[in-house]
Structures are given as C-alpha cells and as structure tokens.
Structure 1
Amino acid sequence: MSTAAPKPLPVPPLEHTVEAVVRAVGAVVDAPTLRATEAAARAFLAGPGPALQERLRQRATREASAGRSWLSAWWLRDYLAVRKPLPLSTNVAFQINPSFLGSTCGEPTDADAVETEPRDAGPGRTDGAPDVGRAARFIHRAAAVHLTQARGQTPQETDPRGNPVDMTQWECLAGGLRHPRPGVDEILAPRAGAAHREIGVFRVGRLYAVPVSDADGAPLPVSALAESLRAVLRAAARKTEQDQEAPGSRVSVVAPGALPFAAASALGSGELAPLLAEALQDPRNAATYARLRDLLFTATLTDEVLEDAEHLRRLAFEPSRVWALRPISYEIGLRDDWLCLHAEHSTVDGATLVAAIRRMQEAAEDADGSPQPIPGTDPAETGRGVGQSAAGEKRPEETACRESTQDPAELMWHWSEAARATIRDGLARGLQEAGKLETAIIRVPRPTAEGLPLKLSVDAVSQLILTVAQQLAYGRTRAVYEAVDMREYRAGRTECLRPVTPEAVAFARTLISEDATLDMFSEALEAHRSWVKACKRGEGVDRHLLGLRRIAAEGRDVDAPARAFLEDPGVAAATTDFLSTTSIGGAQQIVRYAFAPTVPEGFGISYTPHLEAIEYCLTWHRDTADAPEEFLAALPRAATLLGEFVRGLGQ
C-alpha cells in the first residue's frame, strides 16, 4: 500500500461557517425566525465563538499528531454510540450491478459482456434452478479484493484530481466486528491474515463457515467454492424441516422454534451488550464469536425472486438476514440476478465500496478459475498477511479449511432461555419495524445540457428536482442533507452540503409559477457549486458545527446564553434532514442503495444519474412520513417542469 499522505482536514474559518449557516436558515424558515438567528449569530461571533474556535484548533493539532483529524474520533464515536438496531438506523444496503457476472440463464451472452448499465428493475431472469456457479464466481472475485486488504497490499486510491485518498476505510475489508458494549461499542479487528481464511455462508437462517483462501492467501478456485456452496445447500436442506428450496421462500426462516443465527443482531447494542457478555462466558459461544470475528465476509444465499425495491428493502432493514454488526455482508440470488452488499456504516462510506466493487470487476479469472493478482499488488507476497499466527500455531479455522467441503461447519449459539426470550422479542420487534419501512424506485427524465450557455451539474439538477418536488407536494421546502466525499483528507469521511439554498428555493417557486429566468437558474446552480467547492476545501458547515458544539459541551465556562446560536431553532431547522440524500455516481458499480430516514417524517434517498434519466431510490416510514404519495408523485412533475424550462433555454 502506498504511503502517500492525504492532506490534513482544516478547521474552517468561524465567520465563514456562521455566515453559511445563516444563509441556509434563510432558505427554510420565516422572516421572524431568521431575524432571531441573525441576532444569535452576531452574539456568538462577538462572544464565545472565537474562544471555542481556538479550542477546536488546539484539538486539531493534538489529533494530527495521532494521525487523525479533529473530527474523526468524534465521528466514529457517534456511530458507535448508536443504541438502536443498526438495520433500522445507520446500516445501508447497496445493490451491486451484476452485469460483470453474466446472467443466471446459463453462459454469459454478448449483451451481458458489454452491459454497463443495470438491467431494468424486476424479478430477474432465471432458469428455475439455483445458480451456485454465479455465486461462487462472485465470491471468488470478492475474496480477491478482501484478501488483498488482509495482506496489507491494497493499492493506493486517488481522487479524480489525482490526490491520494485516505485508505483507513479499506481496513474493514479484512473482516472483524463491531462489538456491542454498554454506552459505546468498539471495533474488533480480525486476528487472521490472508492464509487459510473462511467466509460465512448464510442459508435459511443458518450460518456455515467455509474455506475461501489457500495456504498462500490466494482465493480458492471457483470450482472449489461452488462445491462448498453446494455442500451448504445440502446441509441446510437436511437440517430444515420446511421446504426452503421453493421460489419466494424467506431466508430468515429456520425450523419451527429455532432462532436464526443472526437474530441477536436485531437487538440494539443497549440490549445486546449485556446479553452477549453473559453468553460469551460459555466457551462454546466464545469460540463461535471468535470465528465470526475472523470471517473475511459473509454471503447470504437467497431463493427469493422479487422486484429490486423489495429485495433492497428486505436486505437493508429486515433483521437476521446478516449479522448486522459485521462490516460487510453480501446477499446473492440463486434464482435471479440479485447481488447486494449490506454495510455497517461506522467505518466505511459508499465511495470506498464503489472502488472495492470496481476492483472486483477488474479481478479477472484464469481459464481454470484460479485468480489473477489485483492490479498494483505484489504476487510474490500473496501469502503474507497482517496478524498471522506465530510459527507452528494453528487456529481452529485453519484446520477447518483443510477439511472436506462435504461437511461445512455450522456456527451455532448456545443461549440461555432468558436470552432466547429477549432475542425472540427483539426479532419480532425488528420485523415489525422493518415492515413499516417502504422503499420505492422512481425514474425521471434527465434534463440535457445541449445548447445551454452554462454548465449543468447532474448533482445540482438532481437536487433542484427534489427542491421543486417539495414545493409541489408541501408548498414549502425543508432542509436537505447531501453527502460529499472527503477522503482526500486525513481520516476523511464525508461532509454535508446544504442544497436547499435561498437561490434554489426562489428558482423552484418561480419555476412552478412559470416566472423563472435564466439568471435565477444560473444563480441556483452557482449556489450549489459554491457549496461543493467549500466542502472540498474543508470548509463545510455541519461538521464544524458539530465540533463547536462538542467543544462547548466540554467547557464549563460556556454558559447557556453564550451557546444560543448553537442551539438556535433556526439553525436546528436548517440542519434537521427532512431529506437525507446521497449519490456515489453512475450505476456501473452500485446500482442504487437504501437506508432509513433520519427523522420520522422524512425520507432517505439515494439518487443515480443515467444518460437520459435520474433515478431516486426512496425509503420512508409508512406511518409517520409526511404525505409520501404526494411527494413521490411530485418528483416526475418536478423533473418535467425543469426539463421543459431547460429545453426552452436551448431553443
């Protein structure tokens, strides 16, 4: 791995942040509220603001000496402090474009080979038989990328400008666990290197450990992986009383009265931490947990044939489909082309996963199914890994890797009756809550830039459509979160861009009333562009506000009146995400993804640009979302209005 160093994350200028916050407030509140915010801002700059800023700079200096940014430890802690069940709060499901694997209908066709866009949403194509060959091919490619990280050889990634990005997020590809603890969880790194690694295969609620790498740390051949998967299917069928091979069966179902292996991860950490601590006193559970920790990744094999939106909703939110505290878990359709990744979000963001999937696509196979090295790695060092055993030491999983694939090892828990009751209750609650979440895919026409006297950013256009849709559906506009990749900075994660600007709101209103002008459109686009540039300079607003609030909370000399700006209702309105949105580019690697909304009345939205369309993947709470039918219906109307306006400019 390259030792190129990303640049340090600066502490943004205080005056810039305060001014930008006030402008964001002006886009979402009434005039009296804005005047109160402006007064609080002036008092903050004249009062405690500069002292808090200086303390934040001092923290930045201390954290830099430890290789971190002033933000990174706080950011990770905030994720690890989440007590709610992770699938219902911060985890994300990313649908992978499966075209590089061909179709489940037999040998890949020429159309499969050249396809760069995902196929239409639908149940997929199938010959009616489970396709373990396709699953084995994907696992083989995924293992090549994960094992490269386990060896510490992941090539340095760069951003589009050629700047090195921070590679910390790649560490989760080596395996490990988020371990629930009282108050704040912790990350447990895997103990194993690349040699003799296992993956976990979920089938109808059971988890089996199967070998995935050889003594040199290279992925096993596709043929060996396929035989392991067949062995898992046979073992699961033998142990399950219900017929799990029928299309449409639910992967979370096991024999009546039994608990799925991953059921406990349906609990939030507040419930799970004491339950797991007690269970790990049993050596059998301790051995299971150690093995779970050292799995390279897990893959759930499903027979479900569903529309993509329902596939995505189930993997994102339903409990027990994956162990929700593992960093990366995959789900692979055996009867359709479904391929998806479930991510525990505390240590990794979408842009890193896009890069990982791209490398899986590039990990070509030799004719005999053996791997070729990932570009940029040293083939001579394939067997060397981080955290390898001492000479002569053999872990249980190493022995298991040498055993016959005819008898895959099932991982099992031994819960007390009290624990089983708690888990059953949590599983039932998780299923009930997941059932209240709806996911929909909406495609709208993408306005074209042909003949226009200005640049048309697809991100800015996507956000303008959302702003216009809010105006159409609600007659007002509430705050929107747009994620910006910040990995070019040391320990960088994301920054928040606030796309609901006064210029965007003014344009949306006049577009609806048919009074919009080119100048207003240009101003709205420029306002979005200015936010992007500020974020990329390290001068975003939301993370800076978080830092100032943390510093204020640590300082006993900062009284409540002095904190008025940080607790101002207008500031709260501008930073409460009615729409939590994000995009990670086109659909070549990640087709779409789903995550829970951050407020009960709001929406979680990923959007993906296509050549002639923009796709929105929306998730909302059925019982609490604000008029979801009206908002979804407003999206095509908003896109049509904007498209007609843009076409008019080009004439």
Structure 2
Amino acid sequence: RPCGLLKQTALNKLVGRFQLHQEALPHLPVPPLQQTLDRYLLALQPIISPEELSHTQALVAEFRKPGGVGERLQKGLERRARKTENWLSDWWLKTAYLEYRLPVVVHSSPGVVLPKQDFLDRQGQLRFAAKLIEGILDFKTMIDNETLPVEYMGGKPLCMNQYYQILSSCRIPGPKRDSIVNYAKGKKQSRHITVVHNFQFFELDVYHSDGSPLTADQLFIQLEKIWNTSLQTNKEPIGILTTNHRNSWAKAYNNLLKDKTNKESVRSIEKSICTVCLDAPMPRVSEDVYKSRVAAQMLHGGGSRLNSGNRWFDKTLQFIVAEDGSCGLVYEHAPSEGPPIIALLDHIVEFTKKPEMGKSPTVHLPMPKKLRFNITPEIKNDIEKAKQNLNIMVEDLDIKVMVFHQFGKGFPKSEKISPDAFIQLALQLAYYRMYGHACATYESASLRMFRLGRTDTIRSTSVDSLKFVQSMDSPDKSDQEKADLLRKATQAHREYTDMAIRGNAIDRHLLGLKLQAIEDLVSVPELFMDTAYAVAMHFNLSTSQVPAKTDCVMCFGPVVPDGYGVCYNPMEEHINFAISAFNSCADTNAARMAHYLEKALLDMRILLQAAPKSKL
C-alpha cells in the first residue's frame, strides 16, 4: 500500500528532496546467468512441446558453458550496470517504445475510463473540465515543489522519477526512432495547456503573471471563449496525423513543419502541460454497451467522423471530457507506466469533488490563442491517408468492459490468497477452457524499487497453473485436490511476483543479453533465434493490474494479432475488467473471453468454498 512519507505540504518548497530520495535508491541488479537460464526452461515447459523443449535445452547448455557466449555477454551486462544509473532503462525505452513503429493508438497508448459524470450539456462539460484542470495544476504544484509523498511497496521506497516525466512532455516522431521532449524543468517551463474542440487547437495560459494558477471559475470563462470561437465543424482534423504508423507520421511531421505557422502551432502543443479534449457526445448506446464504447473512445476517439481528430496522440497526457458526461484519458506510454497516471487521476477525481472556494475575483483574462495550421494539398493528402488507416484500426478493435459484480478482492483475501494471483489464475482457466492449451502470458511487474526502474514480466503461465487448469474440469480429481492445486498455483504466482519486483525475473535479463550481443557486434546467439524463444515472446495474453481508488478501469490493445489485452482494477466488492482483441482474428473475441473469465472466477470461488483449506 503506497503511503506518504511526508504529509502533503504542497505550499512549502522542498527543493533537492527528489534528488536525495532518488540517489538513495538501489541500482537494478543483473540477475545471475545460471538462475535465469534455469527459470527460462521452467517457463517454457507449459507452453511448448517436449520435442521443442529438448531442442532448447541443448541450446541453453551450449549458451551456459563456462567461458562461453553467455558468460561473455553477462560480463558485458555487469560492466554496463556498473557504469550506468540503470542498465536497462535506456535500452527499454528505445526497444519497447521509441523504436516501435506501429501507431501509438491502440498498439501502445493505454486509455482510462472514468465513471460517467452527471452533466448533460455544454455548461456542465466546461464546468467539469475547468475543475479537472484546476486539479491537474494542484498536482503539478506538488511535483514542482517536490512535495509529492514518496510511495512504498512492501515497506520499500519507490522511484518517483516517472511523476517528473508525465507533465509538459511529448513524443516526437522520427524516421527510425522517436524521441521525447520534456519542458517541465529549466527556465522555459510550460505555463499553458492545449485545449482541442471540433478539431481546433488552442493555447490556454493557466497561470497569472504572478505565477498563481487560474481558478476553476476563471478557467470556465476561458473554456467558454474557446468553445464559442470553435463552433465550425468542418475543420481539417490535423491531429489525426498522430494516429499513423510512426514512419509515415515522421515524414508528414517534417512536411508539416516546413511552414513557420504550423511549426509554431506544433511547438505550442508539444510544450503544453497536457491536452484537454472537449469531445462531441458519443452516439447513444444501450447501458450494457456504454462502458465498452467509452473505452474505445478513450483509446482511439471513435474514428475520423467522431473524435479521433480531437487529439494529439503524441502528447503524454490527454484528458477527455465529452458533452454527454463520458470522460477519461489516454496517455502516451513511453515516459510512464499506469500507476503514476492513476495516482494523478485519483488526486484529480478527489479534487473535482471539493466544493468551490467562494467567488474568484473578476480579472480581465486574455483571449486564448488559437493555433493556426496552413494545410497544403500534400498535408491534406497525408490527413486523408491517416484517416483511412485509423478507421481500419477503429473497425478492428474489439473491446469489452466487464464489471464483475459477484465479488471483489475481499473474497480471495478472506481465503488468504493474493487477489492478483487469483485473477491471473482465473484468466489462465478461461484461456485454457477456450483453447485447450496454455499460452505465453505477460503481466507487468513494477521495478520501481530501483532507481529509474520501469517493468519486468511476471510469467503467469507456470507448471503449477497448467496443472490446476487441467485438473479443474477433470472428472478423476476430487474438489480437495483441485483446491490444493489452485492454492499451490496462486502461491507460485505470488513467488514469481516477489522475484520480479526484486529484479530477479527473466525477461529483461534475456533481452539485455540479446541487446548486449547486438551492441558488441557479435552474431545474435542461437538461443534467441530459436522457435521456443519466439513462442515465449508471443504473448497471447497481455495483462496488467492497475489498482485505483477511483472506480475506473484502464484499457489497452493486444500486443499480438491473435491475442488479448486484459487490464483490471480489483475493488473491494467488484472487479473492473477491460478486455481487448482484434476483429481481424477469427479465433479471438473479447465478449467470449469476458464470459469465460466470469465463469472461471465463479467456479474458483465455488471450489474454494466446497473444499476446506488443507495443510499444504
């Protein structure tokens, strides 16, 4: 449970505290080579055939020989670890994000669905947006003054660096690799946010000349001015360019920036603290489809005819407030994982509930600046192509938000089982019942116990999880045996999780060895050219637990064409799930997965209630 080290004293500056805290954090270790290789073979057991396994065992034996390739690469990694603040973080940022060429939309950027707000018109929408901006600025004060309470996990302080990367930052497309700009520090700090309405972008100053932030009342007045000067609905959706394949967008970006006006406008967006998107209402849908539709709106905007042009997807943080009360956010994944984004969101949601502090003084506020774009025929053509590609992606995304009402994290806790392990095992059971075999499963584990730590992989498919799911529907196993296997599998998951957060998982270490070989300009070892490695890295289930105080759910697309993306927020009495798949794959279906998952959770509860806990 993250808890504050210092009481939130957002008024007193504590400059240098962040630096001191960061320097006290341990460095990410390089795990022992033999340990990783043993665990790699164990992780392969439930997902590949015995023949493939024996082939890989031979490759591992070759790789791990004394004085062999493995040891040489391991020494290189250990040298790198001694010389850098974190041996993994730069490599990970590049390989996982900046060099990834698929669009950030659906493929990389997660969305968050917030509870529906009770306003129904423009007035309510703008009031809520104003309060939301005030909440963002309140959180920003804590970041700027370094008074953000340090978070803890299992009594250990966590790296807080990601909080300093999420505001005033933006991704910039490049022909082979993107980059990130950050205007949070230094002399030229961002003083404005970007507001988008009807595909039109505005620069809104959110600080007075004395440095104090605008109040919600003042922000509301400014948002009304923006609204009233952007009523035309026939504007070119320039933001849609950011949804394209990264190489195509990089070309279009350079093209766009040839014009001085365009360049100024783009720089204003890149430098802003964040983006606030004032969306048109979503098409009306029935209650049970509603949340799934909002999830799609948050991920991609609903297509070129709806709100996809009302975004700048390279911006790290985009808050979305629609006229019908649907709201949430979408964020560019390169600078941060989900938890810091959720902490910011929890803070804002709490803030928006606070009553207004009296009337704000009426001061003359300048007209927000409209960002102009000169659209040449070539740019128009780029926009049309981006629209077509985006609409294909929109049609292809199959997403289902399921609120599981039967129980929440309270039940597994009452059985002394980790709620996360319980949910992961239910996913394993659902997948096995649907497909008759296990698959490589990715669950993100935080490495924030270490300086600049990002994530490693919890491989939820284990020898123990497979034994359990195979036994579950087997007539020759007693309930007691099944329950014991269930408990053993959740225990194994717990142990893998603990190992991962302590920097001892296998995935990033294996990646490091492979990248070390590439950096040393030696040939990539056979081990990484093996079919088994490809199978192990083909995550049909890509999952993440993102707990929040707010009753929200995060969502993201699958990471492989025939896979699922599953994100969940376990609340005390219910669990929010977002499940995604691609319509272009005949074998996957989000609603079907949701159905099997619900059944798995219920069956596992029945099993535990039927079989009293035996002494394991």
Give the TM-score, by structure 1 length.
0.82
Q: 1:477 to 1:352 in 2, by over 3 A?
A: same
Unaligned runs of 5+ residues in structure 1 are 106-125, 241-253, 372-401
1:334 aligns with 2:323: yes
Task: Report the counterpart of residue 300 of structure 1 in structure 2.
Answer: 277
Q: CA deviation at 1:130?
A: 4.3
Amino acid in the other structure paired with 2:416? K
Amino acid in the other structure paired with 1:325? D
Distance in 1 between residues matched to 2:115 and 2:89, nearest whole Å: 31
Task: Report the counterpart of residue 622 of structure 1 in structure 2.
Answer: 583
Q: 1:320 to 1:85 in 2, by over 3 A?
A: farther
Q: CA deviation at 1:128?
A: 8.5
Q: Which of 510, 527, 532 does residue 565 from structure 1 map onto?
A: 527
1:59 aligns with 2:20: no
Q: Which of 176, 182, 185 does residue 183 from structure 1 map onto?
A: 176
Distance in 2 between residues matched to 1:421 and 1:477, nearest whole Å: 45
Q: CA deviation at 1:293?
A: 2.0
Q: 1:284 to 1:128 in 2, by over 3 A?
A: closer
Amino acid in the other structure paired with 1:420? K
Task: Report the counterpart of residue 422 of structure 1 in structure 2.
Answer: 382
Distance in 1 between residues matched to 2:500 and 2:200, nearest whole Å: 44
Q: Which of 190, 200, 212 does residue 206 from structure 2 map onto?
A: 212
For residues 392-403 of structure 1, the aligned pairs below 5 Å read: none
Q: CA deviation at 1:332?
A: 1.1
Native 8 Å contact 1:104 1:127 kept in 2: no
Native 8 Å contact 1:212 1:220 kept in 2: yes
Equivalent pairs, count? 569
Task: Report the counterpart of residue 312 of structure 1 in structure 2.
Answer: 295
Give the TM-score, by structure 2 length.
0.86
Q: 1:616 to 1:639 in 2, by over 3 A?
A: same
Q: 1:367 to 1:526 in 2, by over 3 A?
A: same
Distance in 1 between residues matched to 2:388 and 2:360, nearest whole Å: 43
Distance in 2 between residues matched to 1:555 and 1:312, nearest whole Å: 44
Q: 1:464 to 1:413 in 2, by over 3 A?
A: same
Native 8 Å contact 1:512 1:641 kept in 2: no
- The secondary structure found in structure 2 opposite 1:435 is helix
Task: Report the counterpart of residue 5 of structure 2 in structure 1.
Answer: none
- The secondary structure found in structure 2 opposite 1:236 is coil
Unaligned runs of 5+ residues in structure 2 are 1-16, 285-289, 302-307
Q: 1:155 to 1:619 in 2, by over 3 A?
A: same
Q: Deviations over 1:508-538 (max 9, x none)?
A: 1111225243432222112101101111211
Q: Which of 276, 292, 312 does residue 323 from structure 1 map onto?
A: 312
Distance in 1 between residues matched to 2:137 and 2:187, nearest whole Å: 13
Native 8 Å contact 2:192 2:206 kept in 1: yes
Q: Deviations over 1:188-238 (max 9, x none)?
A: 12277698822111112111222212234332111111111111221122x
Amino acid in the other structure paired with 1:521? L
Native 8 Å contact 1:265 1:320 kept in 2: no
For residues 38-53 of structure 1, the aligned pairs below 5 Å read: 38-46=57-65, 47-53=68-74
Task: Report the counterpart of residue 254 of structure 2 in structure 1.
Answer: 277
Task: Report the counterpart of residue 121 of structure 1 in structure 2.
Answer: none
Task: Report the counterpart of residue 534 of structure 1 in structure 2.
Answer: 499
Native 8 Å contact 2:276 2:320 kept in 1: yes
1:357 aligns with 2:351: no
Native 8 Å contact 2:130 2:216 kept in 1: yes
Native 8 Å contact 1:511 1:641 kept in 2: no
Q: 1:196 to 1:352 in 2, by over 3 A?
A: closer
What is the root-mean-square deviation in Å for CA atoms of aligned residues? 2.6
1:71 aligns with 2:88: yes
Q: Which of 547, 553, 556 does residue 512 from structure 2 map onto?
A: 547
Task: Report the counterpart of residue 546 of structure 2 in structure 1.
Answer: 584
Distance in 1 between residues matched to 2:178 and 2:321, nearest whole Å: 29
1:10 aligns with 2:29: yes
Q: 1:639 to 1:21 in 2, by over 3 A?
A: same
Distance in 2 between residues matched to 1:218 and 1:104, nearest whole Å: 30
Q: CA deviation at 1:147?
A: 4.4
Amino acid in the other structure paired with 1:356? L
500-509 or 628-637: bigger deviation: 628-637
Q: CA deviation at 1:548?
A: 0.6
Native 8 Å contact 1:300 1:322 kept in 2: yes
- The secondary structure found in structure 2 opposite 1:355 is helix
Q: Which of 363, 368, 388 does residue 358 from structure 2 map onto?
A: 368
Q: CA deviation at 1:621?
A: 0.6
Distance in 1 between residues matched to 2:41 and 2:266, nearest whole Å: 49
